[in-house]
Amino acid sequence: MPDEELDPILIQVTVPLPIPMIYAAFLDPAQMKGWLCDSASVDAKVGGEYVVGWSEPTAFESHGTILAMHADLDIDFSWRAPPPFATLLNEPEPKTHVYVRLTESPEGIDVTLEHSGWGSGEAWEDARSWHFHLWDDRLHRLKDYMIKAAYG
C-alpha cells in the first residue's frame, strides 16, 4: 500500500486592515519585497507569472504561474522549490501550489495560506517542514509589514 500524501501546510494570520490593502501585498512587487522576498515580478492575471526570489539563506527564485485569482478574495499559484528540493518538487513541472484566501473576521481579515501537493516519504517531509517554516515566518512578517505601513 503506498504512503498517503502529506497534509497541506495551513497557516493563518489576522490582519486588522481592509482586504484591498492586504490583497495588493500579494501582487505588488514593491510591497512583496517588504515582507515576502528580495525580488518579485507578478503578471496579475490567470496564466501570468508569479516570480519571487531570495538571496539568503538559500538563494533561489520560484517561477510560478497564477492558476486562479479573484480580486480581493484569493490567489492560487504554482510553486517552484529551492535547490535542496528542486528535483523532488519541480521536475518535470511544479508539483505543489500555494493558495491564499482572505476572509473577514471579527478581528480583521483572516489571511489563510494553504500550500498543497505534497507527496509521501522522508524527503517530502523534509521539504514540507522547510516550507512550513518559510510560510509561517513570511505570513507573520506580512502582518507586521501591513500594520507598520498603515500606522507607522
Q: Which residues pair with 15 in a beta bridge?
A: 109
CA distance 107 to 109: 7
Segment 56-72 shows an average pLDDT of 92
Can you give the pLDDT at residue 3?
67
Can you give the pLDDT at residue 4?
83
Can you give the pLDDT at residue 25?
98
Instruction: Supply the CATH number for residue 145's domain.
Output: 3.30.530.20
Domain that residue 145 falls in? 9-151
Q: Is residue 86 part of a domain?
A: yes
Q: Single out the residue of 5, 98, 120, 18 nearest to residue 51, CA to CA.
A: 98
Q: Is residue 24 part of a domain?
A: yes
Q: Is residue 141 part of a domain?
A: yes
Q: Is residue 49 part of a domain?
A: yes
Can you give the pLDDT at residue 135?
97
- Summarised one tens digit per residue, pLDDT across range 97-148 is 999 999 999 999 999 999 999 999 999 999 999 999 999 999 999 999 999 9
Do residues 25 and 145 touch, judged by C-beta distance below 8 A? yes
Can you give the pLDDT at residue 110?
98
Can you give the pLDDT at residue 2?
54
Q: Is residue 1 part of a domain?
A: no
Can you give the pLDDT at residue 59?
87
Contacts of 113 (CB under 8 A, 6+ apart): 9, 10, 11, 12, 98, 99, 100, 135, 139
Do residues 130 and 84 touch, judged by C-beta distance below 8 A? yes
Segment 28-41 shows an average pLDDT of 97
Q: How confident is the model at residue 1 (pLDDT cuts 50, 70, 90)?
A: very low
Q: Is residue 3 part of a domain?
A: no
CA distance 20 to 42: 17
Q: Is residue 4 part of a domain?
A: no
Q: Is residue 134 part of a domain?
A: yes
- Summarised one tens digit per residue, pLDDT across range 80-103 is 999 999 999 998 889 999 999 999
CA distance 38 to 34: 8
The domain total for the chain is 1
